[in-house]
Amino acid sequence: MPGAFGKCFDPSGSQYGIPTYPWRYAPDGLATRRQLRARGLRPGGQPIAAQVLRPRRRREPLTAYLYRVDRAKPVRPMTPGKRAALAKAMCARRTCPECRRDAGYVIPTSLGMCVPCAFPDTPTTALDTSRRG
């Protein structure tokens, strides 16, 4: 393959140590973690089978690791304990540390508090007047 894709094409693995393919040119039977998850699968401890590189200008290429689909295992089901822990963590992300109310959205880390607490001098909308009580 000539051009930029030629640098990313190494199916034998001699240059990068593992088989390498250009972006969107991976052979069938290999998938990324996200692609496995979309199929209800997980890598299941298997080693990385190959990688996909996407060249970029003036920076290192983007890398995505590929796993064999035939060796992937099904995703573990969500247990009631995991579900409760996840709900508690999401509740903590939505609770403002200043006013201790549920903001209705995940608190931005850049502010560290809900928007009405971060900007108290700005005029509030009709939705915010019930929160400021």
3-class DSSP string for the chain: CCCHHHHCCECCCCCCCCCEEECCCCCCCEECHHHHHHCCEECCCCCCCEEEEEEECCEEEEEEEEEECCCCEECCCCCHHHHHHHHHHHHHHHECCCCCCECCCCCCCCCCCCHHHHCCCCCCCHHHHHHHC
Per-residue pLDDT tens digits for 120-132: 887 766 555 555 5
Report pTM: 0.66
Considering the domain boundaries, does residue 108 fall inside one? yes
Are 23 and 64 found together in one domain?
yes
Are 43 and 29 found together in one domain?
yes
Are 60 and 101 found together in one domain?
no
Are 43 and 105 found together in one domain?
no
Are 41 and 88 found together in one domain?
no
Are 69 and 84 found together in one domain?
no
Confidence of residue 133 (pLDDT cuts 50, 70, 90): very low
- Boundary-marking domain end, from 74, 89, 110: 74
Mean pLDDT, residues 30-35 taken together:
96
Total domains in the chain come to 2
- Quote the pLDDT of residue 56: 84
Domain hosting 113: range is 80-120
Considering the domain boundaries, does residue 130 fall inside one? no
Considering the domain boundaries, does residue 132 fall inside one? no
Are 45 and 69 found together in one domain?
yes
pLDDT at 21 over 50: yes
Considering the domain boundaries, does residue 125 fall inside one? no
